[in-house]
């Protein structure tokens, strides 16, 4: 194992124990309320977007309430957009006037977020966009994503990208220097030739490591959300990151290196169909799906970073809060099957999934069975079985019609296999004999 991989292994121990985090996309785009890419997708000129800057005043922003909601949901870490692609900063950067402290609210929203979440014992991270559609030196005409990409009058003549890179590095230095210990730095994102050393990524990663040696970095200095880069190789680049970041999907078999060994990874998933607030988007994932997606990630040695998009007043939508409450209710009784758990020694069962931690195998029963739940573990290997949510005994009984399957363990819930005690995911803790 080379030094980069060994250091990655040490830095990500807490990250892989935590398993569940909150992503928060918030900024000026909460006012048009058509998603965080609205300026690009609608090709909005700067002069038509700046009124949102003058209007921005999240009078109901209460990061303590956000932190409480995250904690009650069972989330162990949280990542906030300090600057998204539109270039607007939620922190008091000395390098730009395009920041929250210059709006009506006059507040350093990042500092308040960090203070509130740390107070709840939640680890904290900041998202920082490598793109910047506000900065004059960022490519405009012909860029893949810039709002003015199709406007030849916005020529790139006179734009000095090196000045933008200096600005980028300067802002990252501010975040890593002025806001105390950060647990995660979540860069977003590379595309085409705008990747790697285009951002002077080696220099940037070294600076991050020098300022905060234990900070966990994602892999998007090197790639976008659709690929993974050299993090899967034997010789990852210095800016390959500490974890892979598949977006809006859960990898079919988790994430491994070229030898098939698991690497740290985290699926970032929206609660509806947008990252930033979209007033018309009510296509929310039910709590049942969120719970099962979290368990799927854990069963493949991965994390789930679940997004919320607060509105222009600074409020997390009620639909999101209700889902988080339901997830939190499930986590209250079943979090031991999530925290510190990973892939099981046993193959995926037909009725759900396994997660495992040492000699504890957690059977996540998600589908009802006709007779008894069949577990592909020999009965003599199991010391005891308990319903995780309340600790009650699960009796292991060989059904009269299952004598032909001596190496399979069968159990029911009080003599029945349906309905399940928890329709979302009924978890049975199986303690294996030493």
Average pLDDT of the residues in 282-308? 98
**pLDDT tens figures, 6-18:** 999 999 999 999 9
Cα separation, 30 vs 309, whole angstroms: 8
Judged by average pLDDT, the poorest of 224-228, 273-277, 288-292, 409-413 is: 224-228
Could you identify the residue written with the tokens 């994503």? Answer: 145
pLDDT band at 1 (very low <50, low <70, confident <90, very high): low
- CB-facing half-sphere around the CA of 338: CA atoms within 13 A: 28
Domain spans, the chain: 3-337, 352-432
CA–chain centroid gap for 411, Å, is 35
Answer yes or no: is pLDDT of 2 > 90: no
Judged by average pLDDT, the poorest of 36-40, 99-103, 214-218, 400-404 is: 400-404
Judged by average pLDDT, the poorest of 1-15, 97-111, 311-325 is: 1-15
Cα separation, 224 vs 228, whole angstroms: 8
Cα separation, 207 vs 168, whole angstroms: 12
Residue 93: what are its φ and ψ, rounded to 5°?
-70, 140
**pLDDT tens figures, 309-321:** 999 999 999 999 9
pLDDT at residue 75, as a whole number = 99
Average pLDDT of the residues in 178-200? 98
Q: Percent of the chain beyond pLDDT 70?
A: 100
Q: Whole-number mean pLDDT of the chain?
A: 97
Answer yes or no: is pLDDT of 227 > 90: no
DSSP states along 7-42? HHHHHTHHHHHH-EEEEE--SGGGTTTB-TTHHHHT
CATH code for residues 352-432 = 2.60.40.1180
Collect all residues with Cβ–Cβ distance below 8 Å to 326 and sequence separation of at least 6: 287
Average pLDDT of the residues in 283-293? 98
Question: Under DSSP, is residue 210 helix (H, G, I), strand (E, B) or coil?
Answer: helix
Sign of CA dihedral 334, 339, 345, 351: positive
Q: Is residue 210 packed enough to be buried (19+ CB in 10 Å), middle (13-18) or exposed (0-12)?
A: exposed
pLDDT at residue 74, as a whole number = 98
Collect all residues with Cβ–Cβ distance below 8 Å to 287 and sequence separation of at least 6: 323, 326, 327, 330, 424
**pLDDT tens figures, 346-401:** 999 999 999 999 999 999 999 999 989 999 999 999 999 999 999 999 999 888 99
pLDDT at residue 398, as a whole number = 85
Q: Is residue 421 packed enough to be buried (19+ CB in 10 Å), middle (13-18) or exposed (0-12)?
A: middle
pLDDT band at 225 (very low <50, low <70, confident <90, very high): confident
For residue 357, what are its two tokens? 């931690």
What are the helix and strand counts (H, E) for the chain?
10, 13
pLDDT at residue 371, as a whole number = 87
Cα separation, 27 vs 314, whole angstroms: 9
Q: Percent of the chain beyond pLDDT 90?
A: 96
Collect all residues with Cβ–Cβ distance below 8 Å to 123 and sequence separation of at least 6: 14, 18, 76, 77, 78, 117, 183, 184
CATH code for residues 3-337 = 3.20.20.80
Cα separation, 145 vs 161, whole angstroms: 16
């Amino acid at each position: 194992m080379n030094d980069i991989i060994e250091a990655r292994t040490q830095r990500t121990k807490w990250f892989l124990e935590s398993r569940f985090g909150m992503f928060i996309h918030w900024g000026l785009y909460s006012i048009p309320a058509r998603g965080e890419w609205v300026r690009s997708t609608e090709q909005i000129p700067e002069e038509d977007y700046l009124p949102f800057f003058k209007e921005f005043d999240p009078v109901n922003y209460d990061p303590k309430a956000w932190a409480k909601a995250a904690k009650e949901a069972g989330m162990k870490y949280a990542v906030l957009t300090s600057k998204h692609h539109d270039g607007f900063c939620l922190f008091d950067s000395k390098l730009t006037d395009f920041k929250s402290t210059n709006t009506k609210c006059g507040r350093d929203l990042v500092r308040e977020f960090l203070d509130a979440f740390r107070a709840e014992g939640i680890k904290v991270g900041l998202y920082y966009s490598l793109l910047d559609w506000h900065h004059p030196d960022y490519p405009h005409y012909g860029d893949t994503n810039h709002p003015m990409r199709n406007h030849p009058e916005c020529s790139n003549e006179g734009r000095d990208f090196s000045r933008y890179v200096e600005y980028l590095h300067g802002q990252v230095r501010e975040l890593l220097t002025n806001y105390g210990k950060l647990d995660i730095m979540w860069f977003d994102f590379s595309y085409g030739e705008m990747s790697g050393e285009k951002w002077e990524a080696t220099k940037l990663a070294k600076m991050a490591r020098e300022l905060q040696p234990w900070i966990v970095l994602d892999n998007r200095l090197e790639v976008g959300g659709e690929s993974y880069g050299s993090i899967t190789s034997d010789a990852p680049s210095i800016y390959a990151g500490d974890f892979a970041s598949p977006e809006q999907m859960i990898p079919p078999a988790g994430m491994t290196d070229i030898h098939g060994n698991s690497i740290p990874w985290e699926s970032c998933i929206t609660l509806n169909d947008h990252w930033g607030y979209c007033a018309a988007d009510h296509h929310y994932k039910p709590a049942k799906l969120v719970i099962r997606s979290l368990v799927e990630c854990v069963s493949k040695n991965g994390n789930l970073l679940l997004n919320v998009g607060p509105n222009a007043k600074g409020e997390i939508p009620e639909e999101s809060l209700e889902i988080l409450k339901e997830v939190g209710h499930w986590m209250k009784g079943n979090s031991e099957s999530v925290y510190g758990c990973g892939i099981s020694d046993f193959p995926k069962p037909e009725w759900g999934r396994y997660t495992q931690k040492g000699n504890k195998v957690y059977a996540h029963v998600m589908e009802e069975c006709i007779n008894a739940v069949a577990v592909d573990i020999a009965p003599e290997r199991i010391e005891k079985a308990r319903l995780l949510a309340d600790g009650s005994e699960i009796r292991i009984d060989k059904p009269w019609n299952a004598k032909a399957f001596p190496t399979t363990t069968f159990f029911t819930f009080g003599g029945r296999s349906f309905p399940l005690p928890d329709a979302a995911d009924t978890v049975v803790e199986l303690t294996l004999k030493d």
